[in-house]
A = this chain, B = another copy of it.
Amino acid sequence: MAELTILVFLLAFFALITVFTAAQCSTNGLPIVRDISKLPQDSYGIPGLSHMTVAGSLMHGMKEVEIWLETLAPGARTPIHRHSCEEVFVVIKGGGTLYLASNSHSKSPGKPEEFRIYSNSTFHIPVDDVHQVDYLSVSPFCCIGLRRFFWFNVIMGAN
């Protein structure tokens, strides 16, 4: 029921985004080149998170992919979640542990595999695999992430 609620909300949200961007997706309407240091950041309510959308649908008119830059304070972690798209991360600085429950599409993904992530490494999350990342580095964790534009996110449990 909770998943259904999230899906309905996201459907409405992406429908709004589609209408909004359809009016301003021309090259003339949006800048082709942008200074990353001047892009807005947000924590989305997650302690220790600084998330910057480098290229996305709403602000930049992207239709197929989105890319973001994230910095996390030492000890920060993502919720346990999964989404209907694959993700790729490039770790610029810091490290931690990726917990991944492969091919687990239920509410009880079971015991996940553990993977160490580190500076100058890349890791990917297959479609719908339940995962969580613990950022254990003593310095802030910085990564570039990307995925296709249309996806649904489902939070599986508490942090």
| Residues in B neighbouring A55, C-beta threshold 8 A | 88, 122, 124
Interface secondary structure of A, over-half rule: strand
Cβ 8 A contact of A122, one of B34, B122, B123? B34
Q: Judging by beta carbons under 8 Å apart, are B67 and A88 in contact?
A: yes
Q: Judging by beta carbons under 8 Å apart, are B33 and A90 in contact?
A: no
Q: How large is the interface on A (under 10, 10 to 19, 20 to 34, 35 or more residues)?
A: 35 or more
Docked complex Cα distance between A72 and B107 (Å): 47
Stretch at the interface among A7-15, A41-49, A56-64: A56-64
A6 beta carbon closer than 8 Å to chain B: no
A129 beta carbon closer than 8 Å to chain B: yes
A142 beta carbon closer than 8 Å to chain B: no
Q: Judging by beta carbons under 8 Å apart, are B102 and A27 in contact?
A: yes
| Residues in B neighbouring A63, C-beta threshold 8 A | 86, 127
Q: Judging by beta carbons under 8 Å apart, are A147 and B65 in contact?
A: yes
- Known contacts A33-B116, A37-B120, A123-B33; A144/B144 CB under 8 A: yes
Docked complex Cα distance between A67 and B127 (Å): 16
Docked complex Cα distance between A27 and B100 (Å): 10
12 A–B contact pairs at CB < 8 A? A25-B126, A26-B102, A27-B102, A33-B117, A33-B122, A36-B120, A54-B122, A55-B122, A64-B86, A64-B127, A64-B147, A148-B148
Residue of B nearest to A129 (CB): B27
| Residues in B neighbouring A113, C-beta threshold 8 A | 27, 32
